Amino acid sequence: MAKTIVVIGALDTKGPEFAFVKEAIEDQGHRVLVINTGVIGEPSFEADIPVAQVAAAGGSSLGALRARADRGEAIAVMTEGVAVIIQELYQNGQVDGVFGMGGSAGTIIGTSAMRALPVGIPKVMVSTLAGADTGPYVGSRDVVMFPSVVDVAGINRISARIYANAVGAMIGMVETTPPDIDEKPLIAASMFGNTTILVDRCREALEAEGYEVLVFHATGTGGRTMESLIADGYFAGSLDVTATEWADELVGGVLSAGAKRLDAAAARGIPQVIAPGCLDMANFWARETVPQKYNDRLFYQWNPNVTLMRTTPEENAELGRILAEKANASLGPVAFFLPLQGVSMLDAPGKEFWWPEANQALFEAIKKHTRPDIPVYELDNNINDEAFAESVTNKLLEFLKQR
């Protein structure tokens, strides 16, 4: 069956490349819908969605963008407009895959459309930036960044092979049917190395009750992906027992998931259980990369490239307030569980990060700022103890069975 592949690019400066891609896709028996994002000049061939329509969707007009000749403004408008248009096309059943090519501007614009689509829709971006940090372009979506090797500028013996390979990847994805898998209710769970024992125990118990647990490693990208998929409605419940990304957000660590971490489950109203897992630590790369202002702090070298820094009572008090405010916004059932014998493997009596005063500041802030109707359970366990895992799992199951 023929599929519709949306091709996004600036037809005024890169027309031959996109004509090549369009023909290659059509030669495989699939439909092509082209969106032109080139503001400067006239397109080399007529697009299905002209640039003026993209500009309007982005809140401006083609005439205004050309009159002001501000490249930054034009990119911003195209980025916004193409995301709006791709969502409209998807809602109308006109998107089976998305293909883009370009340098820095083309990559920003093309991937903004790709990130606006659900996980599972094939997305290929041929980019001069594919060998660099692709996090800002991929975000929490399944965008395939395909290295262009040479500049995306015309057709030559190298680029022709690259473009053909990228088209082949797209064709393969849109023609591949995923296998049938039992669709059990999904539970999102956050995990870090220091809470692996806890989450493994919870997962085993939840799966025994007929749920499927998707675990997200709390490395910044993992937290953002978890938030994104919860917002998209994939999950029946959230076992958010590793909030360490908020420590990084607060102190400037390298694994922050941003200020919206813990927002999605609250907004969706799905049942959630929250524990302050690994809030005893913020994460940096090798020891020499830690900011000098933290030189007098307590550190633990997790591996040669990861340095953990113990959070202080003052930081823990602020983290407790933040978690409470996030929970307070919940539209569905939510509960806190506080492990009085430590929030990680390193935070336990006799261990490197054991600091009862810091933990107490965290726990007291959560209790002080949490809504009166939200239960806060204090358990005389370490977060990785079997009794703690049983308690958080049972509470989430109780919430889920009430719905």
pTM score over 0.95: no
Is residue 239 pLDDT above 90, yes or no?
yes
User: What was the pLDDT predicted at 149?
Assistant: 94
Buried b (16+ CB within 10 A) or exposed e, 289-309: ebeeebeeeebeeeeeebbbb
Q: What is the topology classification, in CATH, of domain 4-175?
A: Rossmann fold (3.40.50)
| Rounded average pLDDT over 203-227 | 96
Q: Are 152 and 14 in contact (CB under 8 A)?
A: yes
Residue whose structure tokens are 């001069």: 128
Rounded to whole angstroms, how far apart are CA atoms 205 and 210? 9
- Hey, what CATH topology would domain 186-401 get? Rossmann fold (3.40.50)
Q: Is the pLDDT of residue 346 over 90?
A: yes
Task: Provide the 10 A C-beta neighbour count for residue 50.
Answer: 16
Q: Is the pLDDT of residue 132 over 90?
A: no
Residue 181 has pLDDT above 90, yes or no: no
Domain ranges of the chain: 4-175, 186-401
Amino acid at 346: L
Tokens read off for 191: 């995990």
Alpha-carbon torsion (199, 202, 204, 207), positive or negative: negative
Only one residue has tokens 């790369």, namely: 285
